[in-house]
Every structure is written in structure tokens, then in C-alpha cells.
A = this chain, B = another copy of it.
Amino acid sequence: MGKSRAVTSVDVARRAGVSRATVSVVMSGSHTNIRVSARTRDRVLKAAAELGYAPHPAAQALRRQRTGSIGFVPRPGRGSPYDNPIPYLLSTHLVEAATRRGFHIIEATAETARAAGSTDLGRFLLSRRVDGVVFDRPDTSVVIETMVERGVPVVQVIRPLPDALSPTVAVDPGPGIVAAVNHLVSLGHRQIAYVGVGGSHRVERARLDSFCDALALCGITPQSHDIQLGSDYRLDEGLRLTQRLLDLPGRPTAIFAAGDSLALGVLRALYAAAVHVPSQMSLISYDDAFAAHLYPPLSSVVQPIQAVAEHAIALLTAGLEPAPGAESAPVHLVLPTHLIPRASTAIPRSAPGLGDADLAAALN
């Protein structure tokens, strides 16, 4: 017991009757022009297995000048996945995608940096010798530049800076929102409200614009008081905006909530006002983070966050390879959204015909 001396490549080499170099080549499929005979190879592998040998990551990192770690700079002020699901989703999927490729994620927030004794994010990232960085912060151009200058590959996701010189991966709200509006319109809805977030950021604008455009394509002009814009995506805002909506004369028959957590507030307001979903009000959310877990399960526009993470990591690790061609222009990916219909949408309450219960059931 206790830790007997760790087994190293020397032990394996000795046992297999070869040199350490050979062991190295066999174990990590090196890119040199060295060939190893199948027999030798097997001997090495066998010896390694018997000894329980695995290369020491720190030694590899030191020698290869690659730590295998990828920095991730999340949006600040992200709450729990129940408050604000997208940052959580992004983080999860980044970790997963990185792990699958043999990397690991180091989340770098201002606090992390401080805890590590760094004065700022850039220094912290550099001190950890990250092989690349994923940015989900619109306000870090200085840090981004620092990294780029030092030759560290960078990719910006979800809310990239306008004229990013580094690769970006963003989401196009269009397809999903158009599908959502079409879905509602084809059910017979003509007055559809938008509960979302205002401000001038492109992401918020794009969401609202997609909605208005989709409506316009259906020949519908939204009434201005059916567009309710709050200051952020929290539950409270959804609640407040929906209450306002319900207080106005001429209630809409359907609501599009520009985020799952907003939808939580919308639902709460509707419950409180005893407005049943979907028989008296249809509801579609944006995000599809926990829409399926609500009651009723919400029809929702899926943000392809997993794909965003996947592409971000792929871009980064591709950038790590010794570039075959010359420096090409940075890639800018835009991934589409799509709609998943569930049980929160039905024909409008004023519509004649079937009973509500049948409808709700039929739409499951």
C-alpha cells in the first residue's frame, strides 16, 4: 500500500525490451515519420497494460507546450439554470464537447481570476496556459485582443462583437420564430403578443424583428401594445409584462415569450388570472431549455446550444493544428433555430367548433 513509485515510460520500455522513444510513439501515435512494427507495438501495449501505465499529463503538457485546457469566459451575472438556462446549457455542452476531444474547460470569471491571484481575466487565462478560449461576453474585446496577440486561438459565441476578427458561432432566431408564428396563425390566431426584452443589442433586436417579420409575412400587423418589452429575461419580468397585457382591452389569443424563464412568468400571470393554457391562451417560448418540464409542456423554439458548443470547440481545436493553408478569413457560423410543438398551443378561444378539452388532447 501507500504510493509505490509511479510507473513511467522507462518501466514500460524495459519490460517491452524497447526504448522510451518507442513507447512514446506507440502510446501517443506521434506525428513523426517514425514507424513501429506491429509486433513491437503489441509488446509495448501489453507491457503498458500489465504495468497500468499511462503517460503523465503534466509531462506531456510541458513537453508538447499544450496544456489541453480551454478557457471559457461566460457572461457575467449568470444565475442558476432555473433563472437563466442558456448560460448553463452552454457551459454544460462546452464541457462535454471538450471532454470528448480530450480537452478540459477552465471557466474564467472575474472571481476565478481573483481567487487565483490574477489581476484580470487575460492574465489569468495566460497564466493557466490555455490552448484556446471561448468567449460568451460581449464586453471583453480587450481580453480577446490580448489573447489573439499572444497567439491563443479564440472563438466568440452567441453574442459576438459586431465585426469580430476571430471566428464566431451565433444563433439565427429566424427559422424557429417564423415556424412558431406560422404554427399559431395556422391554428387560427390573429392577435399574437410578444413578451420579450428591449434594448438595442442585436440579439434582442433580431428576436423581435424575426417575430414582426414572420407576422408581416402572414399579413398581420401587430398592435403596438401587444409588444411588451422588459429589461431582462427573468421570471418577474414575464409576470409583470403579462399582467400588463391582460389588463389591456382586447387581449391577444396567443403569446410568444422570448425566453423560457420569461415564459415561467407568463404562466404564473395566466394561472393567477385563471386563464387556461392552451384552451384560453396559446403560449410558445423561446430557448427550449426547460419548456418541456412545465405544465403544460410548452411548444418552444429550440436554440441549438449544443451545436454552438460543438462548433466552438471544433473551431478551436482545428485552429490548434499547424495550419496547412495560409491564414484564412475567420469563420462566422450562424446556426438555425427550430420549433418543437407541444401541448401549449391550440385554436384560439373564440374559435367555434370542438370543445377545449378535446383540442388540448388532440394537440398532444
- A interface residues, Cβ below 8 angstroms from B: 1-3, 52, 54-59, 61-62, 67, 80-83, 88, 95, 99-100, 102, 104, 106-107, 112, 115-116, 118, 123, 126-129, 149-152, 235, 264, 267-268, 271, 289-290, 293, 295
- Bound-state CA distance A237–B55 (Å) is 46
Residue of B nearest to A290 (CB): B82
- Copies of this protein in the complex: 2
Taking CB atoms, residues of chain B closer than 8 Å to A58 are 57-59, 61-62, 67, 129
| A129 and B57 contact, CB distance less than 8 A | yes
Given known A-B contacts A102-B116, A115-B99, A129-B57, A150 and B3 have beta carbons under 8 A apart: yes
29 pairs of residues in contact across A and B, judged by CB atoms under 8 Å: A2-B151, A3-B152, A52-B123, A54-B123, A54-B126, A54-B127, A56-B62, A56-B129, A57-B127, A57-B129, A58-B58, A58-B62, A58-B67, A61-B61, A80-B81, A81-B82, A82-B82, A82-B289, A82-B290, A83-B293, A99-B107, A99-B112, A99-B115, A100-B115, A102-B116, A264-B293, A267-B295, A268-B295, A271-B295
4 closest pairs, A vs B, by CB? A54-B127, A3-B151, A58-B61, A58-B62
A54-B126, A268-B295 known, 12 other contacts, Cβ within 8 Å: A1-B151, A3-B150, A3-B151, A52-B126, A57-B58, A58-B59, A61-B61, A81-B82, A81-B88, A82-B290, A99-B112, A102-B116
B residues less than 8 Å from A62 (CB atoms) = 56, 58-59, 62
